[in-house]
Amino acid sequence: MEDRRLVQEFLNYCRVERGLSNNSLEAYQRDLQRLVIFADQRQKELSTLDRADLVGLLASMKDEGLNDRSIARLLSAVRGLYKFLVREGLLKTDPTTHIESRKAWQTLPSFLNLEQVEALLAQPDLSEDTGVRDRAMIELMYATGLRVSELVGLKLADIDWEGGVLNCFGKGSKQRRVPIGRSALRYLTQYMASRQRLLEGAQSHRLFIEKGGRPVSRQKFWKLIKNYGRQAQIEHVTPHTLRHSFATVLLENGADLRSVQMMLGHSDVSTTQIYTHITDERLKTSYKKFHPRA
């Protein structure tokens, strides 16, 4: 694969020309592997990633709970890679040139308004079992603000149908309970019949599956969201966009900041303040009252 070849050439350069230690090279390799996976999820190559893409990567890392030191280290590796590619004549411009270190990962991704959310939700074909599954996944992500890894990792036992909440195991295996809402529950219920057909006789403890019982992967859900966004004529829709939309709509309607922090699984409320637009609202109401699909 071309991207992995470019990364390997850069690592060879770091080893031979710059004399980096094995520990530093291993750290660079891990960070640049994350960059390659990110580019693949966006159906791009390293050479076509732009500043907005890279800022999105940094913001998503912050949202995943990685500390500033880890993010800065990745940015350093990415800067080094792109400077190398430009110097070797493999790239004309360096997309990291105008990324200011700390401000970059505090830049907010875009969020969807209610009309755009409705347009996105309307795209899956509900006459197909996979379409019912996709609608349920999008509904659930918008209703709960789960990270994509948390969404695809859900198990059947994680859904409390009677209580209308789900149990989520997030970063560091921390458990939290998040309200689901009536709309998402309705489509989840509809999906359960489709799920039985998708199993095709197999067994799986995962909630969201492909035909034959294989779990839906992160990469698959990224591609689904991207395609549905294109069909809905919405640019740059990612799972992270839905998570941000969840938090934004709650805060815009007066939800308590710390309640949103708990639902997002942020260990520090300052992360929630960075992640959402509104940091000075301190109202008192619950998820069910404020979320439009609750």
8 Å CB contact between 75 and 207: no
Pick the catalytic residue from 266, 287, 291, 293: 266
What tokens does 202 get? 């197999």
Contacts of 239 (CB under 8 A, 6+ apart): 141, 147, 148, 151, 221, 222, 225
Six-digit token string for 130:
């996979």
Partners of 160 in the beta sheet? 165
98 is catalytic: no
Which one is catalytic: 195, 240, 291, 293? Answer: 240
Select which of 133, 135, 243, 291 is catalytic: 243
Catalytic residue among 133, 135, 147, 293, which?
A: 147
Query: Token pair of 29, please?
Result: 């390799």
8 A C-beta contact, residue 94 and residue 86: yes
Q: Which amino acid is at 177?
A: R
Give the whole-angstrom CA distance, residue 192 versus residue 263: 24
> Annotated catalytic residue: which of 42, 275, 287, 291?
275
Q: How many residues are there in the chain? A: 294
Which residue, chain included where needed, has tokens 């890679």?
81
The sheet carrying 159-160 orders its strands as 159-160, 165-169, 175-179
Tokens encoding 47 = 């050479």
Q: E strands within 61-173?
A: 159-160, 165-169
- Residue 147 a catalytic site member: yes
Of 171, 176, 218, 236, the catalytic one is: 171
Establish whether 275 is a catalytic residue: yes
Distance CA 233, CA 116 (A): 9
Q: Estimate to the nearest angstrom the gap between the alpha carbon of 30 and the chain centroid.
A: 19
Concerning whether 266 is annotated as a catalytic residue, the answer is yes
For residue 242, give the 3-state DSSP assignment: helix
Give the residue numbers marked as catalytic. 147, 171, 240, 243, 266, 275
